[in-house]
Amino acid sequence: MDDEQRDDDQVEDDRSILEEGLLQNEGSRQYTGDGSVDIKGRPVLKHNTGNWKACPFILSTECCERLAYYGIATNLVTYLTHKLNEGNVAAARNVTTWQGTCYLTPLIGAVLADAYWGRYWTIAVFSTIYFIGMCTLSLSASIPALKPAECVGSVCPSATPAQYAVFFFGLYLIALGTGGIKPCVSSFGADQFDDTDPSERIRKGSFFNWFYFSINIGALVSSSLIVWVQDNAGWGLGFGIPALFMGIAIASFFSGTPLYRFQKPGGSPLTRMCQVLVASFRKRNLSVPEDSTLLYEIQDKNSAIEGSRKLDHSNELKCLDKASVLSVADTESGVVINPWKLCTVTQVEELKILIRMFPIWATGIVFSAVYAQMSTMFVEQGMMMDTTIGSFTIPPASLSTFDVISVIFWVPIYDRVIVPIARTFTGKERGFSELQRMGIGLFISVLCMSAAAVVEIKRLQLARELGLTDQDVAVPLSIFWQIPQYFLLGAAEIFTFIGQLEFFYDQSPDAMRSLCSALSLLTTSLGNYLSSFILTIVTYLTTKGGKAGWIPDNLNEGHLDYFFWLLAGLSFLNMVVYVVCAKKYKQKKAS
């Protein structure tokens, strides 16, 4: 009987331990598992924070901010030439310089967000700077003393230095403001979904789709309504409406504060990368042990880097592992660990991840060069086509609206139709992996440039048949033949640009997500530079010996189709390189 009693007691104890463990496990599921906290730094409950409850505030913030940005950018060259009375070259240079700055400043905002302030406070501070810039710009276009006098006949007085100063002060405050918002908003939105929860991971994939959708809604309103207001109702109102929407964006963002999940800043990522390089160089003569568990890592459950999970050791780039090798000096008792001499495995893996991501990042530059044609060569091609419908004339640049419409059309189709179908074949929770999604977009970009080349072949053929080769006049071919290339470009965006957003968020180290988002934005800037470089080389080579070249002032005697085929070929080679790099890419493994 004593033995039976002891067995019953043991069973009862085991059951109590099991029930207690299950209760603890159930309690842990109530909280996020990715280290997110509320605004006061406390662990957050899943059911009343983050997820889609918080996202409407973030999506509306992005939509209003993009409306404000494109409300300035879309028609800026017109204001510079018609109101500040700048020449075409000076105005174009000022616009491209400003837009280039808008894609470089995100590096500043990203470092501040990851290292010191966190994404929420970085967005808050830079949004305020952005709003001040918008108001300054509106005042410069409204107050008579801050803008040049109207033209009298053909005499147009130039802006005074003070008028220039006020206008460009506001313009570059906006450029600085975008630097704190661009790299942080998408990452902050994705932070609302717990990486350790499979169901929330699926919803996060949908968030990136609708995030890009909201960007294009803002762009569509700006390129139509706001531009019309600026041209017909005045620039004071035309700049004032975007300023108002920027104020709405700030109000929307702060309204969601009680629902947000926050990731703690982990210190300067640039400093941590330098520490790995210095420590591995100092220990270059040491051997890396075969057993990776002998490499240095703190024993706590959490990483030594604030706001970051531990990263598993990977076998490539072993030279960097030397930064984690424990030397005799490191193991001496009482010695405080110096991060410039000894780094954790997680810190080393952060740098390895960035190096592994680099080839994937680089292939995005060529895609951005193709995307840049929408506002350059596509417009010039359209100017040499029939732009009339009855008595109405279509501005060639307005066809970019079809790109926006394409994006707005494809986002719900992709999210609600393509993903569920793809999921049944691939078994992946998001239908396609981020790498597969970007690869599909690169393939569509080849089709886009091919379509543009085919349209140009048809246009040139018609010009020859009608004897218009030597005349700088439009060919009677409807500009609506350009719609397929714009529509394909929009589809390519849905796959590549949104795939990039997902990839750089998911694969980046937890404490470097803003920085990696900024690097993905940098491909847009570098793509524009690459497009200019290709154009310069092509012009130089094809105009030798007094030839007209591929892209002369009179496109009827040129071969713009060759230029489009060249970009299609480069895009195809870029896609091949991408496929090779994507196959070799090793996914991040976090604890």
How confident is the model over 142-181, as pLDDT tens digits?
Answer: 888 887 777 777 777 777 888 888 999 999 999 999 988 9
Report whether 550 contacts 460 (CB < 8 A). Answer: no
* Per-residue model confidence (pLDDT) at position 138: 92
Instruction: Give, as one character, the DSSP assignment of residue 222.
Output: I
Give per-residue pLDDT as tens, 490-546: 899 999 988 898 898 888 888 888 888 888 888 888 888 888 888 888 888 988 877
Give per-residue pLDDT as tens, 73-102: 877 877 887 788 777 657 767 777 788 788
Instruction: Give the up-direction half-sphere exposure of residue 406: CA atoms within 13 A in the CB hemisphere.
Output: 19
What distance in Å separates the CA atoms of residue 358 and residue 584, rounded to the nearest whole number?
Answer: 12
pLDDT band at 24 (very low <50, low <70, confident <90, very high): very low
* Mean pLDDT lowest among 13-22, 205-214, 290-299, 508-517: 13-22
Give per-residue pLDDT as tens, 419-477: 889 888 888 877 888 899 999 999 999 999 999 999 999 999 999 888 888 888 889 88
Of residues 159 and 124, more confidently modeled: 124
What distance in Å separates the CA atoms of residue 1 and residue 162, rounded to the nearest whole number?
Answer: 101
pLDDT band at 9 (very low <50, low <70, confident <90, very high): low
- Whole-model pTM above 0.85? no
* Per-residue model confidence (pLDDT) at position 591: 66
Q: Using the structure block, give the residue that is written with the tokens 């732009």.
A: 387
Instruction: For residue 587, give the 3-state DSSP assignment.
Output: coil
Name the CA radius of gyration of the chain, rounded.
28
* Per-residue model confidence (pLDDT) at position 449: 95
* Per-residue model confidence (pLDDT) at position 281: 92
Share of the chain above pLDDT 70, in %: 92
> Is the per-residue pLDDT at 248 higher than 60?
yes
Give per-residue pLDDT as tens, 45-70: 888 888 888 999 999 999 999 999 98
* Per-residue model confidence (pLDDT) at position 365: 92
> Is the per-residue pLDDT at 33 higher than 60?
yes
What distance in Å separates the CA atoms of residue 68 and residue 18, rounded to the nearest whole number?
Answer: 57
- What is the rounded average pLDDT for all residues in the chain? 84
Kind and range of the H or E element at 435?
A: helix 434-465
Closest CA to 171 of 264, 105, 222: 105
What distance in Å separates the CA atoms of residue 438 and residue 148, rounded to the nearest whole number?
Answer: 48
Closest CA to 240 of 370, 383, 136: 136
What distance in Å separates the CA atoms of residue 7 and residue 4, rounded to the nearest whole number?
Answer: 5
> Is the per-residue pLDDT at 140 higher than 70?
yes
Share of the chain above pLDDT 90, in %: 28
